[in-house]
Amino acid sequence: MIRPGLPTLAVAATLALALLAGGCGGGASKEEFQADMVAARDRVDDALEQVTHASSVEDLFARLRIAAAEVRSAATDVAEADAPDGLGDEERALANTLREFSAEITSTVDTLEELEGAAAETRGLDFAGWTKTQARLAALRKAGIQVPALERH
Protein backbone atom coordinates (compact mmCIF):
# COMPACT_ATOMS: atom_id res chain seq x y z
CA MET A 1 0.00 0.00 0.00
CA ILE A 2 1.41 3.42 -0.95
CA ARG A 3 0.74 6.15 1.54
CA PRO A 4 0.07 9.67 0.32
CA GLY A 5 3.01 11.97 0.84
CA LEU A 6 5.74 9.28 0.77
CA PRO A 7 6.67 9.82 -2.92
CA THR A 8 6.70 13.56 -2.31
CA LEU A 9 9.12 13.09 0.59
CA ALA A 10 11.39 10.87 -1.53
CA VAL A 11 11.38 13.39 -4.37
CA ALA A 12 12.16 16.24 -1.97
CA ALA A 13 15.04 14.26 -0.41
CA THR A 14 16.43 13.42 -3.87
CA LEU A 15 16.24 17.07 -4.93
CA ALA A 16 17.95 18.21 -1.73
CA LEU A 17 20.81 15.73 -2.27
CA ALA A 18 21.16 16.79 -5.90
CA LEU A 19 21.35 20.44 -4.90
CA LEU A 20 23.99 19.71 -2.25
CA ALA A 21 26.07 17.60 -4.63
CA GLY A 22 25.80 20.24 -7.35
CA GLY A 23 27.13 22.85 -4.96
CA CYS A 24 30.33 20.89 -4.28
CA GLY A 25 31.99 21.80 -7.59
CA GLY A 26 33.37 25.33 -7.51
CA GLY A 27 32.13 25.73 -3.98
CA ALA A 28 35.47 26.00 -2.23
CA SER A 29 35.83 28.86 0.14
CA LYS A 30 38.12 31.70 -0.80
CA GLU A 31 40.28 30.82 2.22
CA GLU A 32 40.70 27.19 1.10
CA PHE A 33 41.54 28.26 -2.42
CA GLN A 34 43.98 30.85 -1.12
CA ALA A 35 45.73 28.20 1.00
CA ASP A 36 46.05 25.95 -2.07
CA MET A 37 47.47 28.79 -4.19
CA VAL A 38 49.95 29.82 -1.49
CA ALA A 39 51.09 26.19 -1.08
CA ALA A 40 51.66 25.87 -4.84
CA ARG A 41 53.48 29.21 -4.96
CA ASP A 42 55.68 28.14 -2.05
CA ARG A 43 56.60 24.88 -3.84
CA VAL A 44 57.66 26.84 -6.91
CA ASP A 45 59.61 29.37 -4.89
CA ASP A 46 61.38 26.66 -2.86
CA ALA A 47 62.28 24.78 -6.04
CA LEU A 48 63.77 27.89 -7.62
CA GLU A 49 65.64 28.80 -4.45
CA GLN A 50 67.37 25.41 -4.26
CA VAL A 51 68.82 25.97 -7.75
CA THR A 52 70.98 28.75 -6.30
CA HIS A 53 72.84 26.23 -4.14
CA ALA A 54 74.34 24.36 -7.09
CA SER A 55 78.00 23.51 -6.55
CA SER A 56 78.88 22.54 -10.12
CA VAL A 57 77.48 22.69 -13.63
CA GLU A 58 76.25 19.11 -13.32
CA ASP A 59 74.62 19.95 -9.99
CA LEU A 60 73.02 23.02 -11.57
CA PHE A 61 71.48 20.88 -14.32
CA ALA A 62 70.19 18.36 -11.78
CA ARG A 63 68.71 21.11 -9.59
CA LEU A 64 67.08 22.78 -12.59
CA ARG A 65 65.49 19.47 -13.60
CA ILE A 66 64.20 18.99 -10.05
CA ALA A 67 62.85 22.55 -10.11
CA ALA A 68 61.09 21.87 -13.42
CA ALA A 69 59.46 18.77 -11.94
CA GLU A 70 58.37 20.69 -8.83
CA VAL A 71 56.92 23.52 -10.92
CA ARG A 72 55.02 20.98 -13.02
CA SER A 73 53.73 19.28 -9.88
CA ALA A 74 52.62 22.66 -8.50
CA ALA A 75 50.76 23.24 -11.79
CA THR A 76 48.89 19.99 -11.20
CA ASP A 77 48.07 21.06 -7.64
CA VAL A 78 46.71 24.37 -8.92
CA ALA A 79 44.64 22.65 -11.62
CA GLU A 80 43.17 20.22 -9.07
CA ALA A 81 42.30 22.92 -6.53
CA ASP A 82 38.63 23.76 -6.16
CA ALA A 83 38.28 27.39 -7.23
CA PRO A 84 35.46 29.48 -5.84
CA ASP A 85 32.99 30.99 -8.27
CA GLY A 86 34.59 33.62 -10.46
CA LEU A 87 38.18 32.38 -10.06
CA GLY A 88 38.20 29.38 -12.40
CA ASP A 89 39.77 31.33 -15.27
CA GLU A 90 42.57 32.61 -13.03
CA GLU A 91 43.16 29.11 -11.70
CA ARG A 92 43.44 27.65 -15.22
CA ALA A 93 45.70 30.50 -16.36
CA LEU A 94 48.11 29.94 -13.44
CA ALA A 95 48.17 26.17 -13.99
CA ASN A 96 48.92 26.64 -17.71
CA THR A 97 51.60 29.24 -16.99
CA LEU A 98 53.31 26.92 -14.51
CA ARG A 99 53.27 24.05 -17.04
CA GLU A 100 54.87 26.35 -19.62
CA PHE A 101 57.42 27.54 -17.06
CA SER A 102 58.35 23.93 -16.26
CA ALA A 103 58.84 23.17 -19.96
CA GLU A 104 60.94 26.33 -20.34
CA ILE A 105 63.25 25.27 -17.51
CA THR A 106 63.66 21.80 -19.03
CA SER A 107 64.36 23.27 -22.49
CA THR A 108 66.98 25.57 -21.01
CA VAL A 109 68.79 22.64 -19.39
CA ASP A 110 68.64 20.68 -22.65
CA THR A 111 70.10 23.63 -24.56
CA LEU A 112 72.86 24.26 -22.01
CA GLU A 113 73.83 20.58 -22.07
CA GLU A 114 74.11 20.67 -25.86
CA LEU A 115 76.24 23.82 -25.77
CA GLU A 116 79.16 22.46 -23.80
CA GLY A 117 80.80 25.14 -21.73
CA ALA A 118 77.93 27.61 -22.12
CA ALA A 119 76.64 27.03 -18.59
CA ALA A 120 80.04 27.84 -17.07
CA GLU A 121 80.03 31.17 -18.92
CA THR A 122 76.46 32.03 -17.95
CA ARG A 123 76.14 34.70 -15.29
CA GLY A 124 72.42 34.22 -14.71
CA LEU A 125 69.28 32.71 -16.11
CA ASP A 126 66.19 34.67 -17.02
CA PHE A 127 62.92 32.81 -17.59
CA ALA A 128 59.90 34.34 -19.29
CA GLY A 129 57.84 31.81 -17.32
CA TRP A 130 58.95 33.41 -14.07
CA THR A 131 57.66 36.78 -15.27
CA LYS A 132 54.39 35.26 -16.50
CA THR A 133 53.93 33.43 -13.20
CA GLN A 134 54.43 36.72 -11.36
CA ALA A 135 51.69 38.26 -13.52
CA ARG A 136 49.29 35.37 -12.79
CA LEU A 137 49.97 35.67 -9.05
CA ALA A 138 49.35 39.42 -9.28
CA ALA A 139 46.02 38.74 -11.01
CA LEU A 140 45.04 36.45 -8.14
CA ARG A 141 45.96 39.17 -5.65
CA LYS A 142 43.82 41.63 -7.60
CA ALA A 143 40.94 39.12 -7.32
CA GLY A 144 41.36 39.08 -3.54
CA ILE A 145 43.55 35.99 -3.13
CA GLN A 146 46.48 36.89 -0.88
CA VAL A 147 49.32 34.99 -2.50
CA PRO A 148 52.85 36.44 -2.37
CA ALA A 149 54.97 37.08 -5.41
CA LEU A 150 57.88 34.76 -6.10
CA GLU A 151 61.18 35.85 -4.60
CA ARG A 152 64.22 36.76 -6.68
CA HIS A 153 66.87 34.12 -6.18
H-type alpha helices, 52-87: 57-80
Q: Is the pTM of this model over 0.85?
A: no
Nearest alpha carbon to residue 60 among 133, 103, 124: 124
Residue 46 domain boundaries: 27-142
CA end-to-end span of the chain, whole Å? 75
In a domain, 90, yes or no: yes
Q: So what's the pLDDT on residue 123?
A: 73
Number of domains composing the chain: 1
Residue 20 has pLDDT above 60, yes or no: no
Tell which wins on pLDDT, 153 or 2.
153
Residue 1 has pLDDT above 50, yes or no: no
Residue 10 has pLDDT above 50, yes or no: no
What own/partner pairs with CB < 8 Å and gap ≥ 24 does 107-111 have?
Answer: 108/64, 109/61, 109/64, 109/65, 109/68
Question: What is the residue type of 78?
Answer: V
In a domain, 148, yes or no: no
